Amino acid sequence: MSVTVFLSGHLKTFSNGDLEVPVVGEFANVGEALDSLWKIHPALRDRVLNEQGEIRTHVNIFAGTDDVKRLKGLQTRIDPGIELHIFNAVSGG
């Protein structure tokens, strides 16, 4: 199974300039797919997850069109071929 992870522009510094990263393997959930991403680009982990291994407050991860924070977070189940999108939350007035 392959999952494509799309990164927002501010993360390309930590991914050797890659904004689209295919990860290959058998993944039951978002966390397993991201574990494979960290093996390719380890510096991304600390920008996406906090010290407790949870998604940072101001980072959004979508599996397809679903916000994984509104589901089961890193335990959100994924299907083969899904696209994951990681980007900073936008706030302000």
Encode pLDDT of 45-79 as tens digits.
999 999 999 999 999 999 999 999 999 999 999 99
**Nearest CA among 19, 21, 32, 26 for reference residue 72:** 32
Output the average pLDDT for the chain.
Answer: 94
Could you give the CA distance from residue 27 to residue 12 in angstroms, rounded to a whole number?
Answer: 24
Q: Which two tokens stand for residue 30?
A: 């978002």
Q: Is the pLDDT of residue 90 over 80?
A: no
85 CB neighbour count, 10 Å cutoff:
16
- Conformational region of residue 80, where left means phi above 0, alpha means psi within -120 to 50, and beta covers everything else: beta
Superfamily of domain covering 2-88: Beta-grasp domain (3.10.20.30)
Lowest mean pLDDT among 27-31, 42-46, 63-67, 86-90: 86-90
**At 93, is the pLDDT very low, low, confident or very high (cuts 50, 70, 90)?**
low
Q: What is the DSSP string of 53-90?
A: SSB-TTEEEEETTEEGGGTTGGG-B--TT-EEEEEE--
**pTM across the whole model:** 0.92
Q: Which residue has the tokens 């990263």?
A: 21
Q: Where are the domains of the chain?
A: 2-88
Share of the chain above pLDDT 70, in %: 97
